[in-house]
Structure 1
């Protein structure tokens, strides 16, 4: 009986536009291997984006990276034994820092390449060649800068009453812009404006929700991980949370793709009037 009921429910879903959209979404997750791609993207964020922010902080003498790590992951980077107060006052150290930043930037484009492969899998667009390599660097700097600015914007939560919602609004706006521009760069403008802004807003809402949850649960998780495993536990906690954030990024793109193929008014809006006229 349960199997029959399951088949009946499945049949009803396939018989409705939104049921077919749900099926396309789940099939899209499986097709792009969402877990594998999210894990690869999380690793690249950890090894590419954070080093860029740390190198920039060393050169500037500011503590943006430390503030961001504390805000995003719920622990103070000083607990790792790093001297976050050090500044590159010696000219030789500063010069080395500039060279190091350039090396980190070049290596850090692996994050943008991984993100580009996500969009290639979702939207079936051609891969970016060496002639457009600047797009990888632009996407890397875009995300790294946004993470740092959002970390600084969280200081607004100290303002009574208006602070927390203001900081959250700024975060959503920044992420919306970032996740509209990043796929535009990495697909070489293949997506129309409606797909870009819907994808950007959906990703921003998801990332902001994850961030709000992280401020509640991560401090306790990070404290336990550090107590049991030391710095290794903190690194594992960070990677795990980055995996959740990457699921949002990859999943949002797949969901928008599924709705863009929808035969209802939502799909028509996302595809654009020109596409429907051609049909």
Structure 2
């Protein structure tokens, strides 16, 4: 037990210390902070190029929608409009579009590594089919951003727009957290664990989205005023880090809750027995080697006598 774990447990009731220790061990094993940063960086370099490519292909009418989707300040929206001014399908040829799409699979591969580490499952075999699923998952993420924005705007026609928006976005977050690992890993994760992960993620995102609606526009405007476009990049990466952390955290919590304590203890006991058997086997082999090396003293003397030279 590390000193950090001991300090945390000092404030935890006795009956809750076992699950808290398990959760801390899982967080340290997965290295959630490093993996969240990796996912955030991969998401920034994968999703934004796809959004810009789609905006260029769709023409000028979609640029305003892109600015609204990523909540760009007015000055940055004008920069984006100038950058894409006159850009049509010739700005992204077939080869360029394929490069952008294939480059975006870096996010999918990072997600696969994260999910495999969190849940300790094999995942899909590498190959053309696996790459196709990865491309589909990234395109699904881009489509999710567009659809969730459209649904949020449509909730304004409901009698209670705020409550309707919360319900719609929560259902969308649940569907995303369930579908994403299912597509990337295949049928190796039980549906019960996926649904638990989706429910936890949707519940956490209710609060995160509420906070983001207040924080993100102000942070983007402040970053754009102080540092220009590079400030926007840092702000988006920071926000993507928060989302990635929530995604991994809910997956870890679902993994801990889905496996009962007794089953986890049985798994640990089996691992200890296997390690003990391996150790006994190694010691037995060493004893046999030692006995073989020692040999019989009488045989050694006879052997040395036979090899004495005749005088």
* TM-score of the pair, normalised by structure 2: 0.72
Q: Distance in 2 between matches of 1:180 and 1:10?
A: 35
Q: Distance in 2 between matches of 1:244 and 1:109?
A: 21
Q: CA RMSD in A?
A: 2.9
CA contact (8 A) 1:59 1:98 kept: no
**Secondary structure of residue in 1 paired with 2:81:** coil
Structure exhibiting the larger radius of gyration computed from Cα positions? 2
Q: How many equivalent pairs are there?
A: 254
CA contact (8 A) 1:68 1:151 kept: yes
Cα shift at 1:7: 8.4
Pick which of 247-256 and 140-149 moved more. Answer: 140-149
**Secondary structure of residue in 1 paired with 2:150:** helix
1:262 to 1:23, Cα distance in 2 relative to 1, 3 A: farther
Please name the residue that 2:182 is paired with. Answer: 184
1:1-279 equivalence runs, <5 A? 16=15, 18-61=16-59, 62-63=62-63, 64-70=65-71, 75-76=73-74, 78-79=76-77, 81-83=79-81, 86=85, 88=87, 93=90, 96-128=92-124, 129-131=126-128, 132-156=130-154, 158-159=156-157, 162-263=160-261
Pick which of 241-250 and 150-159 moved more. Answer: 150-159
1:254 to 1:77, Cα distance in 2 relative to 1, 3 A: farther
Q: Distance in 1 between matches of 2:222 and 2:11?
A: 47
Q: Distance in 2 between matches of 1:8 and 1:250?
A: 21
CA contact (8 A) 1:108 1:140 kept: yes
* TM-score of the pair, normalised by structure 1: 0.80
Q: Distance in 2 between matches of 1:77 and 1:203?
A: 34
Which deviations, in whole Å up to 9, do the C-alpha atoms of 1:178-197 show, x marking residues without a partner? 11011112222111111111
Cα shift at 1:125: 1.6
Gapped runs of 5+ residues in structure 2? 265-311
Q: Which has the higher relative contact order, 1 or 2, with Cα contacts under 8 A spaced 6 or more apart?
A: 1
Gapped runs of 5+ residues in structure 1? 269-279
Which deviations, in whole Å up to 9, do the C-alpha atoms of 1:24-64 show, x marking residues without a partner? 11111111100000000001110001211221222123244
**Secondary structure of residue in 1 paired with 2:80:** coil
